[in-house]
Amino acid sequence: MKLWSPVLHLSRHIPSRRDYQSKHCVFDVIILLLTLITAVSSDIPVFQTVLGQRAELFCNVSVPSVDDSVSLVLWYKSGISAPIFSVDSRNGPIESSEHFTSEFLGKRGHFYPGTRTQPSVLTINPVEKVDDGEYRCRTDFRYGRTFNRVVSLNVIVPPEDVTIVDEFNRPVQRYTSPHNEGSKLILGCIAKGGKPPPSVTWWRNSVLIDNSFRKTHDLQVRNDYVFQQLRREDLMTRLTCQASNNNITSPRIAHVIIDINLKPTEVFITSKHHHVSANRRFGIECQTTGSRPAAHITWWLGNLKIETAMEAITDGGNRTVSNLIYSPSTEDNGKYLSCRAENQHLPEETLEDGITLNVFYAPKVSVTLRRGQEAKQIQTGDDVHLQCQYKSNPEVLKIKWQFQSDTLKTNIRTGIFVRNQSLIMKNVTKEQSGTYRCFAENREGRGYSEGLEIVVKYAPVCKKGQKIAYAVTVNELVEVSCEVESDPDDVIFIWTINNTMGSRELLTFTTSGLKSFARYIPREENDFGFLACQAQNQIGAQVDPCIFTLIPVGPPSPPYNCSISNSTNSTLLVECSPGVDGGLQQIFHVEVFLLPRRQLQANLSNFNHPLFLLSTLPSEAHLLLSIYSSNNNGRSAMVTLTAHTVASLSTKPRGVYSTRLRPLLGILLGIVGTFVLMSTIFVLIFRRKRAGKQQNKAKEYDQRRNEKCVSAALSEGVISSDPDLISLKNSSPISTFLHLQKRSNDNVRIPFEHADRYLLRPTSGG
């Protein structure tokens, strides 16, 4: 912009600056006053520039006439009395004039004289803040009057700094602190300095979004931009704050990028299971996307957190994958297994997906009694109802009942009825005490219940396997042991004796738990008979008493059916049948005498059977054999036999043998003797085995015969009509063999065939 001013003509003689200022001070004041009056009455040209830039102040130095010329150009600034820049052209043309600058401008000031068409210019470069104000250009001509021109220089100061702050006035560097999606965000932009005050605006992607700035009390300019609710699309948005007070320089700017915590957008289980098996591991996967930062997946079974999952983050943090290996239990059936995706900064924005577990398992089984019954309070004759309770997934295919590990089936005869889940037992007995359980099967397997112990309480009964016959002599003390089975085991015993003298109660006994011991002495033959032991508990009295037989004992009877076989020149085989042992173990004896002098040749005993092999006897001997048996009560009568041994083959016949035949004859006799000895041994072994078989057959025959006799007697209710005997019922514990007791307390067994004289007729006849 060019400003033209009138020229003031001055004297040709140009004094020095100091002389000029001192001599013409009054004149200058007058001129200045005139200039100020002129400036007030007219518009003052205004020049604008920016701090640090170049300023140009125009002044018209064209001469008023062709014969005139510029002698001085002086520049003044308001507030400074001395010129700040001088051009002295008194000694020549203005193009070659001398330039003088003050300390105010220093080297920043330069003057260009201009041309015919362009005005002269004072440049200031660079412009400082102090350069702001009014300037006066005074031009002195050689002949013409002095010309003054006033201009104004407006120095624009750009803002010093622009700062972006958060809602707490904390500076924000490049990125905002992460704010949660949906939350409110306030960003402030503050411009410091600047003349005139700058405009502060917000821009988003080169689009103006807010220009509502304001001045603050500390002479700053501020613009607050508010996000009422951050959205997902606001993530990584770049906002720019600009502060500018001119169109010459670039505005001051600051940038910020919006960082947001994003909630998960979806979560889903990728692997679905129609059913799983109890106590078998299965895998399940869960994925979530959309969270920033990456979401964390947790697994829950109902309200119980599961901590064993493995987690991986993919797709640059956008996707989280969690894999769970889980072994469900039976109790997990029907529970909700879920995965939850959660951004730790947005705990209230959790997403969840899950499945309801369908857990297959083998049946869980239990056995219960019908209401009102107790397993240990059942008595004989009661009806017992058991119920098989079960839990199963899938459905049960089969139910079975077991008693003591044996499978139960419906048996009408014994009163057992099996009906799926129910087991009914009618009129139970003590034999049905034991452990009952049931099992159920489905596709997953078989489940067994715990055993239910049923205790059937019953009246006392005789314990099996105890001794029921005692061998005793007159005036011998016998102690008879009676043991019963009973539940409850609090029992009372009663003993009775039954013989030819009648039946009476026996008081000489002691009791210890389920055992009782009776003491009895038969004083004469008529005192032998039976002892009866009967017990009673709170259930009732014993139905069938325990019967114990007292058998009188004595010496054995002699052997019979004796025979001699396999007679050789030195051996005899003697075999007999054993007689009655007299109630005690018997021993068999044989004594061999050489007749006629009755010299004792042998004395042998056998504990098992009357079988004797007599050897080393003299040849062609006449022998007397005495056979008998004995026990602790004495010996039997003798059985006497006579026997002969054959002549020896080595005996010489009458006449003389040739001496040449003697060696041959010796060899022949050795061979024959060996053959005879081997044959004898073979025959002895064969006969012994045969005799044993015959004896066993005889025993079996006698046993069968006596069993028939006893059964016939039992069917009538008594063994004999003899009043000396105790009546026995069908459950009498008497067996075909009686256990006897001898004085030495050795237990022996006698065949029933020889005991019938004690059982079926009075002992006095024995």
**Does residue 669 carry a pLDDT above 80?**
no
Q: How far apart are CA 207 and CA 362, in angstroms?
A: 71
Radius of gyration of the chain (CA): 72
Strand pairing of 85-88 and 70-77?
A: antiparallel
Lowest mean pLDDT: which of 347-356, 362-371, 681-690? 681-690
For the stretch 153-212, pLDDT in tens is: 999 999 989 999 999 999 999 999 999 999 999 999 999 999 899 999 999 988 999 999
DSSP one-letter code for 3: -
Instruction: For the chain, report the end-to-end CA distance as a whole number of angstroms.
Output: 174
**224, 187 in Cβ contact below 8 A?**
yes
Res. 730: pLDDT tops 70: no
Backbone angles phi, psi at 194, to 5 degrees: 105, 135
- Report the distance separating Cα 352 and Cα 549, nearest Å: 88
At 330, list the tokens: 């039976």
Three-state secondary structure call for residue 115? coil
Q: Tokens 């969690």 — which residue?
A: 322
Residue 341 CB contacts under 8 Å (≥ 6 apart), including other chains? 264, 267, 286, 288, 291, 295, 296, 297, 320, 350, 351, 352
Q: What does the alpha-carbon distance between residue 599 and residue 620 come to, in Å, rounded to a whole number? A: 15
Instruction: Summarize pLDDT for 136-155 with one digit per residue, the tens.
Output: 999 999 888 999 999 999 99
Question: Lowest mean pLDDT: which of 317-326, 366-375, 605-614, 718-727?
Answer: 718-727
Q: CB of 122 within 8 A of CB of 139?
A: no
Q: Is the pLDDT of residue 265 over 70?
A: yes
The sign of the torsion formed by the CA atoms of 606, 608, 610, 615 equals negative
**Cα(142)–Cα(91) distance, rounded to whole angstroms?**
11
Q: Which of 586, 595, 600 is nearest to 623 (CA)?
A: 595
Q: Which range is least confidently modeled, 82-86, 259-263, 305-309, 578-582?
A: 578-582
Model confidence over 382-439: pLDDT tens digits? 999 999 999 999 999 999 999 998 999 999 999 999 998 999 999 999 899 999 999 9
DSSP character at residue 199:
E
Name the residue among 320, 327, 326 with its Cα closest to residue 341.
320
Tokens of 94: 């203005």
Which tokens in the block code for residue 487? Answer: 């539940």
Q: Determine contact, residues 63/141, Cβ cutoff 8 Å.
A: yes
Which runs of consecutive H residues, i.e. helices, occur in 581-739?
661-715
Extract the tokens encoding 211: 């220009």
- List residues bridging with 149 in a β-sheet: 137
Is residue 340 within 8 A of residue 306, CB to CB? The reply is: no
Cα–Cα distance between 727 and 725 in angstroms, integer? 6
Q: How far apart are CA 71 and CA 83, in angstroms?
A: 15
Q: CA-based angle 628:630:634, to the nearest 5?
A: 120
| Cβ-contact 385, 416 below 8 angstroms | no
Which stretch, 249-253, 582-586, 740-744, has highest mean pLDDT? 249-253
Q: Looking at residues 741-748, what average pLDDT do you find? A: 33
**What mean pLDDT, rounded, does the chain reach?**
82
Cis peptide, bond prior to residue 158, ω within 30 of zero? no
Distance CA 651, CA 328 (A): 103
Locate 525 and state its tokens: 């033959």
- CA distance linking residue 428 with residue 426, whole number of Å: 6
Kindly report whether the global pTM for this prediction surpasses the value 0.75. no
Predicted confidence band of residue 753 (pLDDT cuts 50, 70, 90): very low
Ranges of beta strands (E only) in 404-514 are: 406-407, 416-419, 422-425, 434-442, 445-448, 452-454, 456-462, 469-472, 478-487, 492-499, 502-506, 509-512
3-state secondary structure of 706: helix
- Name the one residue in this structure whose structure tokens are 């040449």: 660
Answer yes or no: are the C-beta atoms of 129 and 139 closer than 8 Å. Answer: no
For range 487-497, the mean pLDDT: 94
On the question of pLDDT at 257 being above 60, the answer is yes
- Strand 611-614 and strand 622-631: the pairing is unpaired
Crossing angle between the packed helical segments 661-715 and 752-759, to the nearest 10 degrees:
40
Q: For residues 700 and 752, is the Cβ–Cβ distance under 8 A?
A: no
pLDDT digits (tens, 9 = 90+) for 602-660: 999 998 899 999 888 888 889 999 999 998 888 999 999 999 888 876 544 444 334 44
Write down the pLDDT at residue 501.
85
Q: List the beta strands (DSSP E) in 357-468.
A: 359-369, 378-379, 384-393, 398-403, 406-407, 416-419, 422-425, 434-442, 445-448, 452-454, 456-462
Asked if 552 and 525 count as a contact pair (C-beta separation under 8 A), the reply is yes
Backbone torsions φ then ψ of 129, nearest 5 degrees: -60, -35
Q: 686: pLDDT confidence band, cut at 50, 70 and 90?
A: low
What 3-state class would DSSP assign to 235?
coil
Q: How far apart are CA 723 and CA 729, in angstroms?
A: 16
Q: How many residues does the chain have?
A: 766
Beta bridge partners of 247: none
Which residues lie below 8 Å from residue 270, measured CB to CB, with a gap of 6+?
285, 286, 287
Closest CA to 351 of 469, 431, 409, 265: 265
**Stretch 210-236: mean pLDDT, rounded?**
92
> Tell me, what's the pLDDT at 696?
56
330, burial (CB in 10 Å: exposed 0-12, middle 13-18, buried 19+): middle
**Strand ranges in 698-762 using DSSP code E only, listed in sequence order:** 738-741, 747-750
Q: The tokens of 502 are what?
A: 């009648």
Higher pLDDT, 501 or 494: 494
Write the burial class of residue 382 (CB in 10 Å: 0-12 exposed, 13-18 middle, 19+ buried): middle
Pairing of strands 359-369, 378-379: unpaired
Of residues 32 and 58, which shows the higher confidence score? 58
